Amino acid sequence: MNTIYKTSIFFIGTLLLSGCYSQGGWTPTVDSYNDKNAQYINQDMADCERLAGQASGGTAKETAIGAGVGGLVGGAAGAAIGAFTGNPAAGAAMGAAAGGFGGAAKQGFSAEESYKRAYSGCMRNRGHNVVN
């Protein structure tokens, strides 16, 4: 199996694994003590989870976008470096894998943080005491 195929398999596997995380079941911790809206916590959490997913664009989707953009940029840079060493195809494959992995991770983490901020903010806006 040549280097290009090995790199492609690694890249695709990494993308699939990182996209599976998708908010990881995180929910904000809500302190119900003195909460005038305590009876609505479960309903509000369901509503805010849905809204936060929409606001963040979804971790899996954002990870895929980051991987695509990173792979394109990395592939181009790798091809240029590979051309200097006499093997632009191998350089492009390695650059695409590295760029795709880095882009996927960056976009995934960014979407995850956006999701958490949106979820917590939504709960606070509905009058709940959010600890984190």
Q: Tell me the one-letter amino acid at 73.
A: V
Residue 29 included in any domain = no
- Per residue in 52-88, pLDDT (tens digit) is 988 877 656 556 666 766 666 666 666 666 667 777 7
Structural domain for 123, as ranges = 40-127
User: What pLDDT shows up at residue 91?
Assistant: 66
Q: Is 30 helix (H, G, I), strand (E, B) or coil?
A: strand
Residue 4 included in any domain = no
Residue 77 included in any domain = yes
Q: What is the pTM of this model?
A: 0.61
Q: For the chain, what is the domain count?
A: 1
Residue 12 included in any domain = no
Residue 46 included in any domain = yes
Residue 123 included in any domain = yes
Residue 3 included in any domain = no
Residue 26 included in any domain = no
